[in-house]
Structure 1
Amino acid sequence: MNNDDLWSFALACYAEPGVEKACLELQALGLDVCLLITCTWLEIRGVRQSAHRLEELKQLSLDWQRTVVVPLRSLRLAWREQAATDTELDGLRKCVKRLELDAERVQLDRLQQATQHWRTEDGSDDWLNQLSTSVDGDARALLNVLRRAATQLDAGWAD
């Protein structure tokens, strides 16, 4: 596997120890996990960060999240308690969960398409810190979990 495919990278990164927990905590702080994973992917690939590029990704992500992912997630979460005792509803909830994951895959595909022409250049590749500037609280430790996982994955792909 190489690090050119964002979806493969996202699955591998999310499976690394501590990443799921860090992503969920960052999501609770208001950050989009798909956008976090994309920015992590761009960092390890050495793609130059710019305010314009970051804004483009944020807007693309926000539109898809607002229109598709968040409504599916809200429905899935709203059914959690009742689905614990209602097998039919539990089955429907699992279908919604699969749809939510499919929607996140589409989001990652769109983010990758938006970045496909971006090359490694001189300049800052500090995507994660720029993404998290609007977050209240200290997200650095959580972001470092993502960076460490990505660095380990990247080293494994280089072998």
Structure 2
Amino acid sequence: MCADLWSFALSTYARPGVEVACLGLQEQGVDVCLLLCGVWLEQRAVAVTAERIQALKQIAEPWQAHVVEPLRRVRMQWRAMAQQDEDLAGLRERVKALELEAERQLLARLETLARMWPTDEAKGHQQWLEGLAAEDAANLDHDALQQLRVVVTST
């Protein structure tokens, strides 16, 4: 298991099926950084509480809304035009790098908060993913969420 959240997120995302699941969830408006943090917390056996879920969301939601999502929108808007314009393609790649760095910063902020919580205090099935995705539950692709759950149990 990776000690820091960023390394954990990268190694988890690289596992078979996880990227597709995460991109599908992201398209549904789910904060994938929060979910990856949830998987990390489950592996660390940190007990889930409503207060902890709320604390993570208070960090993630404004950062996603004001930093990550605007970069993502620009990158997505430029996709078609960048296929025809080499200069724009280069700019789009730089925006993509900024978006990734913004996600890295978000994960660092989430980790800073979560490091204060005791590990190895929870045994058995955790509810981090369900709790962090609860607001999106009505439209959520539960198969994609289950793919992330498999990552937790298979490592």
TM-score, normalised to structure 1, is 0.89
Alignment partner of 1:64 is 2:66: no
Deviations 1:41-79 (A, max 9, x none): 101111011111101101100111111101110111111
Q: 3-state DSSP class of the match of 2:104?
A: helix
Q: Give the Cα–Cα distance (whole angstroms) in 2 for the partners of residues 89 and 138 of structure 1.
A: 34
**Which residue number corresponds to residue 129 of structure 1?**
130
Q: Matched residues, percent identical? A: 47
Give unpaired runs (5+ residues) of structure 1.
Answer: 155-159
RMSD over aligned CA atoms reads 1.5
Q: Can you list the C-alpha shifts for 1:19-45, whole angstroms capped at 9, x where unaligned?
A: 011111111222101001001110111
User: Per-residue deviation at 1:122?
Assistant: 4.3
Q: Distance in 2 between matches of 1:86 and 1:138?
A: 36
How many angstroms apart in 2 are the aligned matches of 1:55 and 1:66?
16
Q: 2:27 — aligned with what?
A: 28
* 1:109-155 alpha-carbon deviations (Å, 9 max, x no partner): 00000111101324773101112222224533222211222333x3x
Amino acid at match of 2:152: A
C-alpha distance in structure 1 between counterparts of 2:76 and 2:58, whole Å: 25
Unaligned segments of structure 2, at least 5 residues:
none
Question: Runs of 4+ in structure 1 displaced over 6 angstroms?
Answer: none
Which residue is equivalent to 2:87?
88
Paired amino acid for 1:99: L
Aligned to 2:104: 105
**Across the two proteins, how many residue pairs are aligned to each other?**
152
Equivalent position amino acid for 1:125 in 2: Q
Instruction: Tell me whether 1:40 sits opposite 2:39 in the alignment.
Output: yes
Are the counterparts in 2 of residues 47 and 118 from structure 1 also a CA contact under 8 Å? yes
